[in-house]
Amino acid sequence: MRVLRVVIVDDEPPARDKLRRWLSEQPDLEVVAEVGDGVSAVQCIGVLLPDVVFLDIQMPAMNGLEVAAQLQSTAAPLLVFVTAFGDHALRAFDLNAIDYLLKPYDKERLLRTLQRVRERAPNKALHSNAIRIARQASGGANRLLVPDGDKLSLIERDSIRWMQADDNYVHVHCSTAQYVLRRTLQDLLAQIGESQFVRIHKSTAVNVAEIQALHPLFKGDYEVHLRDGTTLRLSRRYKDDVFARLGR
């Protein structure tokens, strides 16, 4: 029997206690962590890589839908949204979460959810679906969690000037700092929304608002001059898209 590893995310200790107590009665489930806020949730999920996350939607600072949008699609757990608000619960269900629990729920309702969890756990394609649709529904995350020393910090999407991929990492250049994320550029752009950013090279994307000038080079390539003085190379492969975004 495969044991599914579970993380509980809820800012209310009594709610976490209730869920942990009922989950502990299931021999094929193991609660590996409990956290009470969204930032800690993203960090915990990234480290522990659980199979299932029970995710409270209504939390201060960073709600459950924002947490879902921050997760990496390639290592996504199954998500069960938990909420005391009916409209949020319906929204979570529309986001194709495997299920939702509307507080206050009883054990019978939880057991029905767990049956769906067990049925869907082997299908990895379903794990990232809620994340993908959450990003689409929100039009991209307005904030991004980045490693900042030994902690995670939230930065505003507007503060990002340009991003460059380097193997399995992305260097995120902001107005005051640079951050390195273990992500793909494609997944990062999907998370924060491509409406504000444009690719100028297969490994480079820039904030459209930061582009100050374009200077032609040779064979269709251009230099891209950003407002902070940074100069980057625009590949002719991406020229038409960049020009269209700039209205040229």
Q: Which two tokens stand for residue 68?
A: 């879902």
Question: Beta 204-207 vs 197-201: how paired, if at all?
Answer: antiparallel
pLDDT at position 129 = 75
Q: How far apart are CA 82 and CA 64, in angstroms?
A: 9
Query: Given this model, what pLDDT does residue 114 score?
Result: 94
Give residue 146's identity as a one-letter amino acid code: V
End-to-end CA distance of the chain: 60
Looking at the chain, the domain(s) classified CATH 3.40.50.2300 span 4-138
Instruction: Identify the DSSP state of 18.
Output: H
Cis-peptide into 147, omega within 30 deg:
no
Q: Which residues have CB under 8 Å from 173's CB, separation 6+?
A: 160, 161, 162, 163, 164, 230
Tokens of 118: 């067990």
**SS3 per residue for 106-155:** CHHHHHHHHHHHHHHCCCHHHCCHHHHHHHHHHCCCCEEEEEECCEEEEE
**Higher per-residue pLDDT: 101 or 6:** 6
Task: Indicate if the alpha-carbon torsion angle 71, 76, 81, 87 is positive or negative.
Answer: positive
User: How many CA atoms are closer than 13 Å to the CA of 43, on its beta-carbon side?
Assistant: 17
- Asked if pLDDT for residue 166 goes beyond 90, the answer is yes
User: What sign does the CA torsion over 51, 152, 93, 139 have?
Assistant: negative
Does the domain at residues 4-138 carry the CATH identifier 3.20.20.70? no
- The one-letter amino acid code at 5 reads R
Each residue of 6-29: b (16+ CB within 10 Å) or e?
A: bbbbbbeeebbebbeebbeebeeb
Considering only CA atoms, which of 18, 16, 21 is closest in space to residue 44?
16
Query: 104-126 pLDDT, tens per residue?
Result: 999 999 999 999 899 988 888 77
Question: Which H/E stretch holds residue 137?
Answer: helix 129-138
CATH class of 155-246: mainly beta
* Delimiting residues of CATH 2.40.50.1020 domain(s) in the chain: 155-246
Q: Per-residue pLDDT tens for 170-223?
A: 999 998 899 999 888 998 988 887 789 999 999 999 999 999 999 999 888 899
Tokens of 206: 């820039």
Q: What is the pTM of this model?
A: 0.79
- Local confidence band at 90 (pLDDT 50, 70, 90 cut-offs): low
